[in-house]
Amino acid sequence: MIEIKPFQLKSGTYTVPGDKSLSHRALLLSALFSKTMHIKNLNPGEDVLTTLDCLKKLEISFEKRNNEVKIFGDLQKCKNIEERFDCRNSGTTLSLFLGLHHKKSYFIGDESLSSRSFKPQCEILESLGSQFEFVKEKYYLPFYMKSPKNLLFKASIPSCYNLKSDSAQVKSMLLVLKEVYGASFSIRYKIKTRDHTERFLNFLNTQDNNSLIFKIPGDFSSAAFLITACLLSHSSEIKIENVGLNPTRTLFLALIKEMGGDVRFIVEQEEPEPWGSIYVKASKLKGVHVNKDWIPRMIDEIPCLALLALVAEGETVVRGAERLRNKESDRIKAICENFKKCGVHIEEYQGGFRIKNFRKNTPPSQKQIRVKENTVLTGYEDHRIIMMLSLLGMLSQRSFFIDEGRFVKVSYPQYFEDILGYDYNH
């Protein structure tokens, strides 16, 4: 249990941990090439440590010191695998490792991961000749997987694969599989999703040097909570340095501008991954109807949008975000149930929600959530939901509690220290 007291974000300069999505991909993709890759600013969270532990099962050699790791790649160790992989809470780890060649491997996860369906990944692999044995329920962990032989696989895959899923994890699984099998095919998709995998593979394939250095920029999804906190504040002004500005990740900034938020960014490096600085000032906001085609490129920032809707004038509507129900928690349910505990008028949809708020010129003193004494909000063991709930402290005149805080360590171990100014080590 963690107590959240009323607070305001301090003005100043901030940094965030290395990008979690890119950290996962850099680790596994480096293992597929006969190169030495020195990765700097690796995300320190528990999810990325899970990927490292799974690399140990492949007997991939690496040296880790603090947030740096040196990977000695060996493609042959990523084939004909017969191992037990504990993916814990990390869906990205599972998706990436499913792209390797398995003689027969067993995949498990924690309670949260085991409650999530991996139907898109399994159906694609089954169509290409992989075999699954589901221990409890079809498409859910735990399960066994057996990969097809090279020749069978190459005969079964089309020259162009039409990807129906809008998940970057599913796309990355296919790209890993392509490298492992030495296959030649293109991937066509309706909606562009984050392209860290493509960029990192291009970096590996275009470098003649067998010893490479790659610095991971700060995590944009973590920075989104700092951006949101600043916009919720009365008068804060912040700069976030060395943060990832990949255009497939930054649509949230465009949405903030549409809401009237004062936010801008400067790209300081373009390749292999864009990064730079983001500048934010406290702003008056207006509600927005989110285009459903935008959702895949800001899926992790929807909890932040829900917070901004609480202080925006007018109506905010999100639809087309059904995939949020299959994340670390059912995030749509988590947002709606917790907001209702705080007296927020929110309407829940299958693929989103609607929040209708204040009229023009409503004074800030009335833009408060109504928390009853000793209210306990539920984090659902989901790092993004816990981070979202903590920022409600900026809109409350009374302290409240979150049932569990430790899951922020999945992606942002220093979150409470950076945002609230004190550490939480439970």
300 is catalytic: yes
**Closest listed residue to residue 382, CA positions, set 196, 137, 166, 116:** 116
Q: Is the peptide bond before 272 cis (omega within 30 degrees of 0)?
A: yes
d(CA 321, CA 311): 22
CB atoms closer than 10 angstroms to residue 134: 13
Both tokens of 56, joined, read 């140990």
Please say whether the beta carbons of 32 and 73 come within 8 A.
yes
Both tokens of 360, joined, read 């023009």
Distances (CA, A) of 138 to 93, 161, 224: 19, 24, 35
**Closest listed residue to residue 25, CA positions, set 202, 268, 163, 144:** 202
153's torsion region: left (phi>0), alpha (psi -120 to 50) or beta?
Answer: alpha
Catalytic residue among 86, 300, 382, 418: 300
Q: What DSSP assignment string belongs to 379-409? A: -TT-HHHHHHHHGGGGS-SS-EEES--GGGG
- Paired with 240 in beta bridges are 14, 278
Which H or E element spans position 106?
A: strand 105-108
CB atoms closer than 10 angstroms to residue 347: 11
Please say whether the beta carbons of 289 and 349 come within 8 A.
no
- The two beta strands, 352-356 and 315-318, are antiparallel
d(CA 179, CA 410): 28
- Paired with 278 in beta bridges are 240, 265
Catalytic residues: 300
